[in-house]
Amino acid sequence: MSRVACIGECMVELKQADGGLFSRGYGGDTLNTAVYLARLGAGVDYITALGDDSLSEEMIAGWAAEGVGTASVARLAGKLPGLYMIQTDDKGERRFFHWRDSAAARSLMDLPQTPEILDSLASYDVIYLSAITLSLYGGEGRARLFGALRSAREAGARFAFDTNFRARGWPDLDVARDVFREAFATADIVLASTEDLLPLYPGVTNETLLARIPGAEVVLKLSEPASIVRLEGVPYPIKAKPVEEPVVDTTAAGDSFAAAYVAARLVGADPIEAARAGHRLAGVVVCHPGAIIPRAAMPPGLIPNHANSRKASP
């Protein structure tokens, strides 16, 4: 079985319920992707830091129940996970409120066990992280992580970068652009969107956004239900099938797209097939509240049936 490492942060999630109340769960962009990857049959480990509190214990148990490996989760005495709240409007568009400045995950690149965690990345087939992941760490921490990613790629791993951008995590947009530039130059697969990139590069065309990304395998998700897959410099437009149910919450649409894309590539699907799988899963996820949909709602036959499973390659 191919193995994926997802690096990032999981937080306590409060989402709207009936009567002005909120229900409690957990979520975070790369954790959402890890859960969907596990549901799609990939072997996946989540790499993060948590506290030694009951909420962190609940998260660990929940991930394990979903089939997500937790051996590389650092546990920090006296620390807590972050917290976020989702509000959605009548069109399903979401607004986030965060309490996470002192969350345990922010220390992941500065721990005694950090070198061992980073060295382990070379044992994976795919390493997946997002711009939100990179926003958690300071400059030195990001440098350690990028160095480990380059070493892992030399050992045969592939790095998939999701441009998931949240302005609150990047108070200096020039720093964000520099970090994005390094991530683009390092990544084997870039999963981008106009929603993420236009705040950094305002007023430019889709073609200009794609030109900023040098990689051979790039997906640019558009504002409409469509994407452009660029392979070796050639763009291929992809249209998503219409969503069949009412859209209630767009949380984790991009995270689930990434999971289906990576899972499809791991079993030998080409990038266009993988993007279609990503659109299909995202189209189901947005019809349910919260980041993680019920297991029973997962669409059947999502991943193309390739007889010979192999490591993702262009």
- Spatial CA neighbour of 27 closest among 134, 132, 141: 132
Which DSSP string do the residues of 225-252 spell out, in sequence order? SEEEEEETTEEEEEEPPPP-S-----TT
Domain assignment present for 283? yes
pLDDT of 135 reads 98
Total domains present in the chain:
1
pLDDT of 210 reads 97
Domain assignment present for 115? yes
Domain assignment present for 203? yes
CB 6 within 8 A of CB 47: yes
Q: Residue 53: which domain range?
A: 3-9+28-79+105-297
pLDDT tens digit sequence for 97-138? 888 888 999 999 999 999 999 999 999 999 999 999 999 999
Domain assignment present for 225? yes
- Whether the pTM exceeds 0.95: the reply is no
Domain assignment present for 86? no
Residue ranges of E strands in 146-286: 158-162, 189-193, 217-221, 226-231, 234-239
CB 125 within 8 A of CB 102: no
Number of Cβ within 10 Å of residue 182's Cβ equals 16
Burial letters 282-295, b for 16+ CB under 10 A, else e: bbbbbbbbbbbbee
- Residues belonging to the active site: 255
Number of Cβ within 10 Å of residue 211's Cβ equals 11
Which segments of the chain have a pLDDT < 70? 1, 92, 94, 306-314
Q: Which CATH number do you get for residue 233?
A: 3.40.1190.20
